[in-house]
């Protein structure tokens, strides 16, 4: 009885070890998501420019007009070839864009969360894009009579702010409506026409870079540009057109500005000061930017082609950004600061022009419902920018009911609108504030995203959607919601097509490789998170049609291409690992494959164990003799298993059955051999751990297959890994694998040294300084290996482990370590044939006894709560400890428990007894060797069995 | 030559330096190995002690770099570029020998004839 009680504690500890793995991974995933999205945004922006062209066709005319306006300027600079110059300039611009993008990418890693840096750049970029779009769109609208009317409305709506706003603001408005109205502007315009055309543009450019807030910038540009235009324009119509193109944003921007003007002083978001051109120029960054600006500007104005304009702008924008990017933190953060209301006095003073200000948050959110689509999309883009890396604003948006409005826009037919809305939602969904995630879910944001995912072919939008879903999936309560609404869609829309897997492959089509796209990465990350949501989630994923097949295909493709370090691969392996957890209990029809012994109650299992143990206690001779006997027995078993399994194999396996087919062993071993990614290594080892746990037919096969595929040396080698969690996962996997008797013997012979070297020596931790969980895992594995094998116990002694074990037992500050070491020592002492050698080395019985609770050390290590009960138990065990010790550690349980869902982990269930220990105890059935499984691929003639004891392997001969 | 894993071995060794031959993307040493701790030692044709799980040279291609360097069939490989080969799996040994970034492999080998020769010379004295 005492022995049994001990076992639970051991089991629990094992379970613990595994559990942390899962959790850790999930957390990591989540954090990574946000970062990616942000960075993407910026990239997307650049791409968007191209798309927009179509919309703006009208602009051509306008451009011509514009030219006129600027011609004077151009003339001064370079009359000869304005047109030629433009194209050439354009190219450089494009290049600049590229550079910008790269920077963004770099920044991503830099950010503390991964996000910060990218955010600064990306939001800005997107923001800018949106501005451009506005321009274009606005231009259209402006041209159209309706558009004009809308503008007016906006005017009216914002009339209040107007009143508050200074004259200058009004002027801008006036510009839109009628240029003639604004005397001041005209004056400036005239100047601008002659001398300053560049300047006004310049400010624009400078503006963006400096402030990154698009709205204000636009306005400024607007104002400046508009003024020149007015004078220039020969006809009102022309003027209007021209305005819309360049300045269209202004109308909206203007509206915004007006609004913002009122609140400016108080509003944190106001950009007002920034807009003056003089300031911009004054800014240190300007010098750098100006050259860039000039190029783009010239082109834009000069070029008759819309497309060029667009390109210019984007590049332009990017170009502007470079300066901030160069100092990413300053640039983006500075802008953020301003937005957040933390304006520094100096900046304020620099921005002398009080005319412009950004809309405040309520205004922006209100704009989401604006009748004009570009306003909506601009507002959404602006929100995305504001929310970047700013939890406060995210919260404000939520409290201002902005999230439902954004979600509502997901169904908007215009790509521009739902795209920007996606961007904003992605940023909002990122972060530790789960309320934002819940808010998205509460307004049916998850089905809305899924709907859009089904509908859109726009890569950018798909990246945004899946990024958001990944973010949402990090919050436990949302996982099942995502599964319910999106599992099959994500599988069908993303996982399957990108994995290269085909339901019914054509004969002529070659098998496709997986495409490691961002969309795939995001989606697999999302599924990875939701796959940890307990048995029901696992069941849903396993039964999701095509999912497991596609994941396997993708992983095999990764192995084939030796591309195994990516995040996507990591996500896939983690999903597989999670889905492999408890397959032997949860898979439909699993009971058919259960080992008969496993079906017995815990009580009977206990007795079986005991008998076995007794045998073990009798002496060392047992080891080899018994082993041979078992080998015979196992041979018989094998036959049975073969007949059992074969029928199953007549049909090609598919779906979740693939999870535990022996073929996957090779896949995981390839990953373990080749991948440099610790998370992937841990997950692959974890998958083997899960699959080799349990008492059903398949786990028997898996255990044997790992051996035959030469997996044991691979695993043993990973015991030397620098990564704590890899060592832990491998150690537990070895423990489960050693349920197989041959594996146990091999592991005892060849892994003992590496296992022992991971143990802390004395009070001194080894260089690796492994965590408690890892040390306990290793101790438990050692314990498992030496149970019923005096041979292995002997090699434990040979490996000079006794020193370390005694030291841990006496001096470790960890009760769990102490207990685990004590179990090992008791087992060692139980082999009477070894005592002689031990005594020779100076050990005596006291070294192998558990430290009494009463001792100071014992009390220290055993914190109240868990170990009180266990320690006394151990003492009582002393009599029969050796043999009974084996019962303590149920291997099977360990694996599965580890993977238990987060909830369990949270409960701090480490020390509570594990439920399933009973099945584990019955190992005997497990020890069948499956020497000649048909399922083992025979296409590798050279492969010899790792297990030297197995049926005679062909001698391997390798040419080198 | 009997060998116990983990036990010190005193034996006569010969250093052999093989320059790999480049054949397309492959670097060729021109010999094959057998053995390893994951192999069945009883099937090793070259070991004196049928429990020896060391790495043995099983074939040497005619005129290949290994033969030129003096490697012979039946040689027991003790080290590869300083890496111990007496307690490795077959695949580990293969990997150590076939590193893409190493053009030269320095082997420490022992062979029965070598020992015999030494013994004979000692007897003479």
Query: Within an 8 Å CB–CB cutoff, is residue B74 touching chain A?
Result: no
User: How far apart are the CA of A951 and the nearest CA of chain B, in angstroms?
Assistant: 9
Query: Within an 8 Å CB–CB cutoff, is residue B6 touching chain A?
Result: yes
Tens digits of per-residue pLDDT, A424-473?
999 999 988 899 999 999 999 999 999 999 999 999 999 999 999 999 99
What is the pTM for the complete model shown? Answer: 0.51
Count of CB atoms situated within 10 Å of the CB of A632: 9
Q: Is A36 exposed, middle or buried (0-12, 13-18, 19+ CB in 10 A)?
A: buried
Fold of A710-847: 1.25.10
Mapped to the 3 state alphabet, what secondary structure does A714-764 carry? Answer: HHHHHCCCCCHHHHHHHHHHHHHHCCCHHHHHHHHHHCHHHHHHCCCECCE
Count of CB atoms situated within 10 Å of the CB of A348: 16
CB B2 within 8 A of CB B49: yes
Query: Within an 8 Å CB–CB cutoff, is residue B31 touching chain A?
Result: yes
What are the contacts of B66-74 at 24+ separation with CB within 8 A? B66/B18, B66/B29, B66/B30, B66/B31, B67/B30, B67/B31, B68/B18, B69/B16, B69/B17, B69/B18, B69/B19, B70/B14, B70/B16, B71/B16, B71/B18, B71/B31, B71/B107, B71/B109, B72/B111, B73/B46, B74/B46, B74/B111, B74/B112
User: How far apart are the CA of A711 and the nearest CA of chain B, in angstroms?
Assistant: 11
| Phi, psi (deg, nearest 5) at residue B26 | -95, 145
Give SS3 for A195: coil
Query: What integer pLDDT is reported at residue A219 of this predicted model?
Result: 34
Please list the ranges in chain B whose pLDDT falls under 70.
1-11, 114-115, 117-118, 122-125
Candidate from B6, B37, B44 with C-beta closest to A955 = B44
Integer Cα distance of A889 and A883 in angstroms: 12
Candidate from A712, A955, A960 with C-beta closest to B40 = A955
Which are the contacts of B45, defined by CB distance < 8 A and separation ≥ 6? A955, B34, B58
Residue A397 has pLDDT above 90, yes or no: yes
- Of residues B88 and A130, which shows the higher confidence score? B88
Query: What integer pLDDT is reported at residue A595 of this predicted model?
Result: 64
Q: At what angle do helices A434-442 and A445-455 cross, to 10 degrees?
A: 70
Structural tokens at position A528: 């990875």
Residues in B touching A960 (Cβ below 8 Å) = 28-29, 31-33, 94, 97-98
Rounded mean pLDDT of chain A?
A: 60
Query: Residue A762: CA atoms inside 13 Å, Cβ hemisphere, count?
Result: 1
How would residue A541 be classed by pLDDT, with cut points 50, 70 and 90? Answer: very high
CB A473 within 8 A of CB A431: no
How would residue A305 be classed by pLDDT, with cut points 50, 70 and 90? Answer: very low
Residue A329 has pLDDT above 70, yes or no: no
Query: What integer pLDDT is reported at residue A515 of this predicted model?
Result: 85
Integer Cα distance of A251 and A246 in angstroms: 10
Integer Cα distance of A670 and A400 in angstroms: 52
CB A221 within 8 A of CB A199: no
Average pLDDT over residues A224-252: 32
Residue A883 has pLDDT above 60, yes or no: no
Count of CB atoms situated within 10 Å of the CB of A152: 13
Residue-level length of chain B: 125
Integer Cα distance of A111 and A119 in angstroms: 9
**Inter-chain touch A713–B40, beta carbons under 8 Å:** no
Structural tokens at position A241: 């057109």
Integer Cα distance of B92 and B80 in angstroms: 11
Residues in A touching B69 (Cβ below 8 Å) = none
Tens digits of per-residue pLDDT, A911-956?
333 332 222 222 222 222 233 333 333 332 222 223 333 333 456 7
Residues in A touching B42 (Cβ below 8 Å) = 952
User: How far apart are the CA of A44 and the nearest CA of chain B, in angstroms?
Assistant: 40
Percent of chain A residues past pLDDT 90, beyond the cut: 29
**CA nearest to A665, candidates A622, A706, A726:** A706
**Inter-chain touch B37–A948, beta carbons under 8 Å:** yes
CB A524 within 8 A of CB A568: yes
For A717, name the nearest residue in chain B, comparing CA atoms only.
B92
Query: What integer pLDDT is reported at residue A934 of this predicted model?
Result: 32
Percent of chain A residues past pLDDT 70, beyond the cut: 45
Structural tokens at position A46: 């650049």
Integer Cα distance of A685 and A730 in angstroms: 6
- Of residues A121 and A99, which shows the higher confidence score? A121
**Inter-chain touch A948–B38, beta carbons under 8 Å:** yes
**Inter-chain touch B53–A713, beta carbons under 8 Å:** no
**Inter-chain touch A956–B39, beta carbons under 8 Å:** yes
Tens digits of per-residue pLDDT, A17-62?
333 222 222 222 333 333 333 322 222 233 333 222 222 222 222 2
**Inter-chain touch B40–A960, beta carbons under 8 Å:** no
Candidate from B29, B37, B39 with C-beta closest to A960 = B29
Note whether ipTM > 0.90 here.
Answer: no
- Strands B104-110 and B76-80 turn out to be antiparallel
H or E element: which one contains B16?
strand B14-19
Would you put residue A655 in left (φ > 0), alpha (ψ -120 to 50) or beta? left
**Inter-chain touch B92–A713, beta carbons under 8 Å:** yes
Query: Within an 8 Å CB–CB cutoff, is residue B94 touching chain A?
Result: yes
Q: At what angle do helices A621-649 and A741-750 cross, to 10 degrees?
A: 130
Residue A202's alpha-carbon distances to A63, A276, B112, in angstroms, are: 18, 11, 86
What are the contacts of A598-606 at 24+ separation with CB within 8 A? A598/A694, A598/A695, A598/A696, A598/A919, A598/A922, A598/A925, A600/A922, A601/A918, A602/A917, A602/A918, A602/A921, A605/A918, A605/A919, A605/A921, A605/A922, A606/A4, A606/A887, A606/A918, A606/A921
Structural tokens at position A554: 């993708």
Integer Cα distance of A397 and A367 in angstroms: 13
| Phi, psi (deg, nearest 5) at residue A506 | -70, 150
CB B13 within 8 A of CB B85: no
Query: Within an 8 Å CB–CB cutoff, is residue B106 touching chain A?
Result: no
H or E element: which one contains B60?
strand B55-60
Average pLDDT over residues A126-134: 38
CB A422 within 8 A of CB A370: no
Candidate from A713, A798, A955 with C-beta closest to B89 = A713
Residue A601's alpha-carbon distances to A693, A912, A918, B9, in angstroms, are: 18, 20, 7, 52
**CA nearest to A382, candidates A134, A170, A104, A105:** A134
Q: Identify the top-confidence range among A631-635, A868-872, A933-937, A940-944.
A: A631-635
Domain ranges of chain A: 710-847
Mutation target vs A (from B40, B93, B100, B104; most A CBs, 10 A cutoff): B40
Integer Cα distance of A852 and B72 in angstroms: 62
User: How far apart are the CA of A604 and the nearest CA of chain B, in angstroms?
Assistant: 37
- Strands B83-84 and A957-959 turn out to be unpaired
Query: What integer pLDDT is reported at residue A197 of this predicted model?
Result: 36
Domain ranges of chain B: 13-123
Query: What integer pLDDT is reported at residue B45 of this predicted model?
Result: 79
Integer Cα distance of A44 and A423 in angstroms: 10
Could you please report the per-residue DSSP string of A684-715? HHHHHHHHH-SSBHHHHHHHHHHHHTTHHHHH
Residues in B touching A952 (Cβ below 8 Å) = 40, 42-43
Q: Dihedral, CA atoms, A779, A783, A789, A794, nearest 10 degrees? A: 40
Q: Does domain B13-123 have CATH number 2.30.42.10?
A: yes
Query: What integer pLDDT is reported at residue A737 of this predicted model?
Result: 94
Distance from first CA to last CA of chain B, Å, rounded?
23
What number of C-beta contacts closer than 8 Å exist between A and B?
A: 65
């Amino acid at each position: 009885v005492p022995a049994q009680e001990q076992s639970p504690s051991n089991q629990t500890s094992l379970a613990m070890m595994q559990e942390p793995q899962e959790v850790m991974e999930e957390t990591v995933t989540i954090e990574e998501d946000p970062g990616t999205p942000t960075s993407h945004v910026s990239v997307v922006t650049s791409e968007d420019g191209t798309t927009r062209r179509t919309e703006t066709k009208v602009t051509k005319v306008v451009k011509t007009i514009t030219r006129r306006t600027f011609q004077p300027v151009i003339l001064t600079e370079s009359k000869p070839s304005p047109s030629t110059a433009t194209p050439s300039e354009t190219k450089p611009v494009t290049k600049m864009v590229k550079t910008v993008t790269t920077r963004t990418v770099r920044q991503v890693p830099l950010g503390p969360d991964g996000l910060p840096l990218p955010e600064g750049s990306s939001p800005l970029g997107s923001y800018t894009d949106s501005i451009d779009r506005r321009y274009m769109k606005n231009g259209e609208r402006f041209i159209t009579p309706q558009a004009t009317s809308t503008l007016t409305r906006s005017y009216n709506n914002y009339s209040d702010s107007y009143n508050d706003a200074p004259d200058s603001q009004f002027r801008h408005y006036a510009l839109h409506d009628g240029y003639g109205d604004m005397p001041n502007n005209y004056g400036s315009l005239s100047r601008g026409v002659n001398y300053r055309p560049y300047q006004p543009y310049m400010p624009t450019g400078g503006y963006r870079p400096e402030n990154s807030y698009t709205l204000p910038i636009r306005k400024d540009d607007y104002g400046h540009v508009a003024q020149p235009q007015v004078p220039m324009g020969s006809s009102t119509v022309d003027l209007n057109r021209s305005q819309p193109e360049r300045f269209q944003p202004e109308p909206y921007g203007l509206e915004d500005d007006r609004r913002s003007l009122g609140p400016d002083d108080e509003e944190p978001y106001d950009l007002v000061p920034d807009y003056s051109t003089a300031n911009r120029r004054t800014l240190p960054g300007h010098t750098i930017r100006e050259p860039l600006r000039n190029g783009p500007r010239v082109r834009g104005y000069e070029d008759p082609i819309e497309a060029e304009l667009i390109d210019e702008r984007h590049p332009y924008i990017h170009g502007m950004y470079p300066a901030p990017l160069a100092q990413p933190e300053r640039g983006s953060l500075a802008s953020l600061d301003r937005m957040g209301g933390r304006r520094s006095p100096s900046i304020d003073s620099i921005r002398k022009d009080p005319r412009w200000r950004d809309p405040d948050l309520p205004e922006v959110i209100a704009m989401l419902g604006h009748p004009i689509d570009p306003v909506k999309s601009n507002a959404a883009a602006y929100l995305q920018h504001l929310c970047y890396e700013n939890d406060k604003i995210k919260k404000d948006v939520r409290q201002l009911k902005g999230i439902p409005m954004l979600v509502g826009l997901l169904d908007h037919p215009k790509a521009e609108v739902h795209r920007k809305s996606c961007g904003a939602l992605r940023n909002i969904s990122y972060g530790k504030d789960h309320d934002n995630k819940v808010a998205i879910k509460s307004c049916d944001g998850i089905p809305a995203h899924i709907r859009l995912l089904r509908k859109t072919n726009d890569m950018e939008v798909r990246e945004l959607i899946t990024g958001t879903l990944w973010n949402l999936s990090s919050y436990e309560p949302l996982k099942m919601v995502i599964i319910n609404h999106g599992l099959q869609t994500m599988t069908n829309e993303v996982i399957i097509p990108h994995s290269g897997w085909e339901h019914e492959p054509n004969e002529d089509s070659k098998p496709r490789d997986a495409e490691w796209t961002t969309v795939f990465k995001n989606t697999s990350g999302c599924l990875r998170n939701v796959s940890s949501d307990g048995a029901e989630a696992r069941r849903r994923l396993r039964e999701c049609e095509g999912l497991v097949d596609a994941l396997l295909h993708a992983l095999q493709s990764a192995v084939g291409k030796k591309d195994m370090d990516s995040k996507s691969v990591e996500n896939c392996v983690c999903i597989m690992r999670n889905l492999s957890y408890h397959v032997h209990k949860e898979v439909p029809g699993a009971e058919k494959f259960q080992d008969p012994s496993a079906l017995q109650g815990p009580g009977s299992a206990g007795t079986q164990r005991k008998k076995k143990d007794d045998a073990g206690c009798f002496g060392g001779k047992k080891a080899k003799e018994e082993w041979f006997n078992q080998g015979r027995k196992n041979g018989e078993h094998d036959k049975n298993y073969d007949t059992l399994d074969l029928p199953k194999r007549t049909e090609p396996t598919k779906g979740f059955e693939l999870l535990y087919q022996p073929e996957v062993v090779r896949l995981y071993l390839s990953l373990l051999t080749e991948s440099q990614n610790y998370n992937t290594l841990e997950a692959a080892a974890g998958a083997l751990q899960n699959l080799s746990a349990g008492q059903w037919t398949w786990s028997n096969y898996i255990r044997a297959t790992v051996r035959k595929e030469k997996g044991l040396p691979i695993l043993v080698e990973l015991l030397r890994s620098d990564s704590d969690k890899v060592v832990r996962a491998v150690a537990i996997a070895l423990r489960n694998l050693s349920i197989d008797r041959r594996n146990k013997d091999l592991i005892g012979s060849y892994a003992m040294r590496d296992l022992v070297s991971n143990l802390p020596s004395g009070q001194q931790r080894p260089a690796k300084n492994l965590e408690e969980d890892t040390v306990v895992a290793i101790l438990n594995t050692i314990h498992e290996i030496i149970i019923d094998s005096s041979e292995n116990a002997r090699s434990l002694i040979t490996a000079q482990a006794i020193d370390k074990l005694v030291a841990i037992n006496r001096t470790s500050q960890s009760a769990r370590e102490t207990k685990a070491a004590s179990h090992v020592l008791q087992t060692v002492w139980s082999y009477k044939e070894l005592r002689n050698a031990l005594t020779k080395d100076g050990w005596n019985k006291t070294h192998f006894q558990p430290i009494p609770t009463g001792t100071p050390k014992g009390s220290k290590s055993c914190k109240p709560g868990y170990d009180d009960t266990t320690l006394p138990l151990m003492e009582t065990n002393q009599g029969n400890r050796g043999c009974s010790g084996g019962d303590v550690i149920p291997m099977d349980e360990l694996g599965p428990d580890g993977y238990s869902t987060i909830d369990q982990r949270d409960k701090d269930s480490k020390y509570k007894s594990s439920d399933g220990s009973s099945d584990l105890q019955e190992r005997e059935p497990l020890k069948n060797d499956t020497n000649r499984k048909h399922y083992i691929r025979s296409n590798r003639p050279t492969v010899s069995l790792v297990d030297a004891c197995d049926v005679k392997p062909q001698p391997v001969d390798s040419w080198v | 030559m009997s060998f116990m894993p983990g036990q010190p071995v005193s034996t006569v060794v010969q250093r052999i330096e093989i320059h790999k031959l480049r054949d397309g993307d492959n670097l060729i040493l021109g010999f094959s190995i057998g053995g390893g701790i994951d192999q069945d030692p009883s099937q090793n044709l070259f070991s004196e002690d049928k429990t020896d799980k060391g790495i043995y040279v099983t074939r040497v291609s005619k005129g290949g770099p290994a033969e030129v360097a003096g490697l012979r069939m039946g040689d027991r490989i003790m080290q590869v570029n300083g890496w111990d080969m007496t307690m490795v799996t077959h695949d580990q040994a293969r990997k150590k020998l076939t590193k893409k970034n190493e053009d030269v492999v320095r082997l420490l080998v022992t062979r029965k004839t070598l020992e015999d020769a030494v013994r004979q010379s000692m007897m003479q004295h």
